[in-house]
Amino acid sequence: MKLPSLRDVATEARLLLIGIPVFLWTMIPIYHMFLFAISPKEDAFSGKLWPDHPTLHNFEIVFKQQHYFLRDFYVQFWNSTLIAASVGALTLVIATAAAFSISRLKVPGGRAVLNLALFTYFIPAAFLAVPMYRTMGNYGLLNNHWSLILAMVTIASPYAIWVLKQASDKLPVELDEAAVMDGATTLQIFRLVYVPLMMPSLVAIGTYAVLLAWNEYLYAFLLLSNDREITLPVALGNFLAADDSPWELLMTTGFIYALPPAAVYYAFRRYMVGGLTAGAVKS
Amino acid sequence: MAITLSGDQAIPGPPLSSRLTPAQVWGIILLAPYLLVFLAFVVYPVCYGLWLARAPSNYVALYNDPIFARAAINTLIFLVIGINIKMLIALFLSGFFAQQRPWIRWLSVIFILPWAVPSIPTILSVRFMLNPEWGVINHLIFSFTGDDGPNWLNDPTVALSMAIGVHIWKSLPFWTLILITGRLAIPHDLFEAAEVDGASWWQKFRYITWPSMQTLYVTCTLLSMIWTLGDFNSVYLLTGGGPADLTHVLATLGIRYLRLDQLSLAMASIVCAMPFVLPLVYFMMKRLSR
């Protein structure tokens, strides 16, 4: 075995000198959340770095809905799930159709639509929220899940169309031509040629839309208010309204709520990193 | 209608429908859902909002509201200081993560977490860490120095810095990832040649890395500026705009007016940001649609 040279050791030490703070910086808020989740109330507030008596009691309270704030935990969890899934599905349908139309069918005016979509992508989300809130009121959709679903589809679609259009442009045009020769109709090309080839990008975009909707706080908090209609993040925000917020339960619920996106992200990481970063900034 | 763009408008021809190929008809049908969403949830709200904010008295009221001036300044601090710090760290870390080491690859998998998990529980976790009485940070300060730590969120300057810190924590992974992609695209033999010539790391950065990444870096910075303007969570969930409404940024201020049922003021405060936002958007669209 070759011994590492002094220079290698020095390089490694320098890298660790960066790596350790990066690790701590990333993990501390997340660890702190986890720590609260496994601590009895007294330990949580004592500032200890590890509880004397770690417990799963908080999870039990959450899962059995044994606290005033958690009365509707399952309903709210279900709301979050349903809304995220709907946003993912609707965004995929709308954006795939649009990308196919612009990139493959070269529909007249497609370029203009793409620019409009790009423009929406650049409107800061909190700025659009103000007029959107009022508009949802005008449409009579406030407090209805559709308001949040449609708002999130509006926000997710532009980026989805953009990424999918970039990916479609890379598919060779001969594929479509060959299918036309074989007598395929436009819809058949879409279903049998286009969608299967676009699968990796579709997975990335679907994941992106689902995570966006699952993690959304501002729009959910503006558009939904009824306790049985709200999503989990809004419920978490409502914990804060009390003077003596049950922080250990807040963190436990937050931890449970943060697990699905982390799991989804890691499951689809391969697709996400390639698919999404490529579209975010063209270098 | 956009369809006429393809036809020759000067010459009267058969009705539109027969001039379009079936593929084009399908193209229009497939594009329609997005156009409907765009019209209903972007065009209509924006026009309606602008119409609500049209009276000059709104702008006078904003001008006279000290909270608005403070929010505008805070937004600028966020953009100028916060984003530059964030992007410089991202640039630095992209170099770190581009090193090929198994443990660095593992770290990069963990490093992405703040971006992947929802803001609300993590930002609230930071908020509790900063609690002057029960927070872990002041506990640690007390156990090391025997003194009470500062009341982190009670001083507007400190509170705003903490909000910037939270914003950096949340969005640093994404930008680092993008910059890593940019770094990996630089041909490796350039570095090998520089190595042979005995270049220092700074010379390699100055003459190879930076020139190839400059455009990407500037684009990322501008894009990050636009998105940071829309970052409601970092400020709202950490400070709620307090103490005494001194840490608002334009994103939270608009929502604050909205909650106070002053929709025209909310819209007006957003309109005020437009002279700043629109040039950025224009520049980004030009760069991306090339």
pLDDT band at B1 (very low <50, low <70, confident <90, very high): very low
Write down the pLDDT at residue A55: 85
pLDDT in single tens digits along all 283 residues of chain A = 567 788 888 888 999 999 999 999 999 999 999 998 998 877 777 777 788 888 898 898 889 888 878 889 999 999 999 999 999 999 999 999 999 999 988 888 888 999 899 888 888 889 999 999 999 999 999 999 999 999 999 999 999 999 999 889 888 888 888 888 888 888 888 988 899 999 989 998 999 999 999 999 999 999 998 888 999 999 998 888 766 778 888 999 999 999 999 998 888 887 776 666 655 554 3
pLDDT at B242: 80
Using alpha carbons only, give the angle B260, A153, A211 rounded to the nearest 5 degrees: 95
Q: How far apart are CA B42 and CA B18, in angstroms?
A: 32
Instruction: Encode pLDDT of A251-277 as tens digits.
Output: 999 999 999 999 988 888 877 766 666
- Burial class (CB within 10 angstroms; exposed 0-12, middle 13-18, buried 19+) of B149: middle
Residue type, A255: F
Query: What average pLDDT score do residues B234-254 get?
Result: 92
Name the nearest CA neighbour of A256 among A52, A89, A80.
Answer: A80
Measured CA distances, B280 to A108, A111, B290 (Å): 28, 20, 16
- For residue B2, the model assigns a pLDDT of 39
Burial of A127 per CB tally in 10 Å (0-12, 13-18, 19+): buried
Selected residue of A17, A27, A49, A101 to mutate for chain B interface (largest B Cβ count, 10 A): A101
Instruction: Please report, in angstroms and rounded to a whole number, the separation of the first and last CA atoms in chain A.
Output: 43
High-pLDDT (> 70) share of chain B, %:
93
3-state SS assignment for residue A139: coil
What are the two backbone dihedrals, phi and then psi, of residue A183, each rounded to the nearest 5 degrees? 90, 20
* CB-based contacts of A79, cutoff 8 Å, min separation 6: A145, A229, A230, A231, A232
Q: Determine the Cα–Cα distance for residues A258 and B117; give it in Å rounded to an integer.
A: 5
A21 interfaces chain B, CB cutoff of 8 Å: no
Residue B260 or residue B9, greater confidence: B260
What tokens does A90 get?
């609707």
Going by pLDDT thresholds of 50, 70 and 90, the confidence category of residue B91 is very high
Q: What is the pLDDT of residue B8?
A: 46
Identify the pLDDT of residue A52: 81
**CA distance, residue B157 to nearest chain A CA (Å):** 22
Burial-class residue A15 by CB neighbours within 10 Å (0-12, 13-18, 19+): middle
CB A26 within 8 A of CB B110: yes
How many angstroms separate the Cα of B35 from the Cα of each of A161, A202, B40, B126?
12, 20, 8, 41
Distance from CA of A87 to the nearest CA of B (A): 13
- Put simply, the chain A residues between 175 and 234 with a CB less than 8 A from any chain B CB are 185-187, 190, 211, 214-215, 217-218, 222, 233
Cis (ω within 30 of 0) for the bond into B243? yes
Q: How far is the C-alpha of A127 from the C-alpha of B226, rounded, in Å?
A: 11
Residue B210 has pLDDT above 90, yes or no: yes
CB contact under 8 A, B116 and A262: yes
Question: Which residues, at least 6 apart from A135, have a Cβ–Cβ distance to it below 8 Å?
Answer: B40, B41, B44, B45, B48
Q: Write out pLDDT tens, residues B2-49.
A: 344 444 445 555 555 567 788 888 899 999 999 999 999 999 999 999
**Of B57-71, B129-143, B160-174, which range is least confident?**
B129-143
Q: Name the residue among A252, A279, A249 with its Cα closest to residue A68.
A: A249
Query: In Å, how far are A186, A196, A199 from A189, measured between CA atoms?
Result: 5, 10, 14
The whole-angstrom separation of Cα B88 and Cα B54 is: 40
In B47-169 the beta strands, taken as DSSP E runs, fall at none
Residues from chain A that touch B266, judged by Cβ atoms under 8 A, are 130
Mean pLDDT of all residues in B140-161? 88
CA distance A248 to A33: 9
Distance from C-alpha of B172 to C-alpha of B287, rounded to nearest angstrom? 23
Q: Is A275 on the interface with B (CB under 8 A)?
A: no
Q: B111 contacts in A (CB within 8 Å)?
A: 22, 26
* Structure-derived torsion over alpha carbons of residues A44, A47, A50, A54, reported in degrees to the nearest 10: -20
Q: How far is A69 from chain B (nearest CA, A)?
A: 15
> Which of A15, A101, A258 lies closest to B27 in CB terms?
A101
CA distance to partner chain B, nearest, from residue A84 (Å): 13
